Amino acid sequence: MRICEVDGCGRKYVAKGACQKHYIERHRKANGRVERKVETKCAACGSSLLKVPSRRYRATCSLRCRYFLTYSKWPAGQDVVGPLPRKIRQTIAPAAELLGSAIRFLSCTCKWCGDSFVHDLRVTGVRPNYCDRRCAKRASASRRQLRQGRFSIDRAARLRIYERDEWICQLCMHPVDAALPPNDRWAATLDHIECQSWALMADHSEANLRLAHRMCNSIRSDERYSAA
């Protein structure tokens, strides 16, 4: 395997006789010119080093000094090798304050999918609204669509409407198969009783929504009749 030509490097060759690190140092450009390093002092120990003036971060001579700037303490034992561990962010209620509390685990309900889950209060100190990050992202996208005037409803509310109508299409009054995929022509969809095009401000409340086959919903469109 070809290695870097810089003395004492030993890294894998990338281009022009240098590894990735030394290639960037040689050929990095800013504002149409090659960046020149200037002599400065380490922000942790005060030793001299070379630093590119355009870099805004505080210069350090080693990972040990970078560890000191990150965690405000020197590492114990040997020098730090490899990337620094991720800094732990302090939550609203640290776990140390909850160790003496009798509350440990909470039974919560996800506001998006409606599933029940158990949360360890000692981890974050607050009651979560969603069971995982995916539900939180979908809820955020739903709120964004509502602000833009587009129809959006969470999974829990959609399921409530389906169960309220007993899985019967309110247009053709035939049963709806809950096992069908969403893109199937006979899958379950939500139909607006008062269509969105009939009013200046569409009504997306559960009282104005009903269960319908995808095909029946498409055939009805925004007509003012119902097969029921």
Mean pLDDT across the chain: 77
For residue 46 the two structure tokens come to: 């005060």
Token look-up 């040997």 returns: 78
Model confidence at 89, pLDDT cuts 50, 70, 90, reads: very low
Residue 12 domain-assigned (yes or no): no
Model confidence at 225, pLDDT cuts 50, 70, 90, reads: low
Domain that includes residue 187, residue range: 153-220
Give the model's pLDDT for residue 180.
87
Same domain, 134 and 186: no
Bridge partners (DSSP) listed for residue 120? 105
pLDDT tens digit sequence for 107-126: 888 888 888 888 877 676 77
Biggest CA pair distance of the chain:
84
Same domain, 101 and 133: yes
Residue 143 domain-assigned (yes or no): yes
Same domain, 162 and 117: no
Same domain, 147 and 113: yes
Residue 200 domain-assigned (yes or no): yes
Same domain, 147 and 157: no
Residue 138 domain-assigned (yes or no): yes
* Domain edge (last residue) among 136, 151, 166: 151
137 or 7: which leads in pLDDT: 137
In the 3-class helix/strand/coil scheme, how is 66-135 assigned residue by residue?
HHHHHHCCCCCCCCCCCCCCCCCCCCCCCHHHHCCCCCCEEEEECCCCCCEEEEEHHHHCCCCCCCCHHH
Residue 62 domain-assigned (yes or no): no
Q: How many CB atoms lie within 10 A of CB 196?
A: 15
Residue 29, SS3?
strand
| Beta strand pairing call for 116-120 and 105-109 | antiparallel
Residue 147 domain-assigned (yes or no): yes
pLDDT tens digit sequence for 55-66: 567 788 887 887
pLDDT tens digit sequence for 164-210: 999 999 989 999 998 888 888 899 999 988 887 787 777 878 888 99
Number of domains in the chain: 2
* Domain edge (last residue) among 151, 178, 197: 151
Q: Residue 32: pLDDT above 60?
A: no
Same domain, 147 and 161: no
Same domain, 147 and 166: no
Residue 22 domain-assigned (yes or no): no
Same domain, 177 and 195: yes
Same domain, 140 and 157: no
- Predicted TM-score (pTM) of this structure: 0.44
How far, in Å, are 52, 87, 131, 164, 213 from residue 98 at the CA level?
46, 21, 21, 41, 50
Q: Residue 227: pLDDT above 70?
A: no
Token look-up 């800094």 returns: 87
Give the model's pLDDT for residue 97.
45
Same domain, 145 and 162: no
Residue 3 domain-assigned (yes or no): no
Same domain, 130 and 141: yes
* Domain edge (last residue) among 127, 151, 175: 151
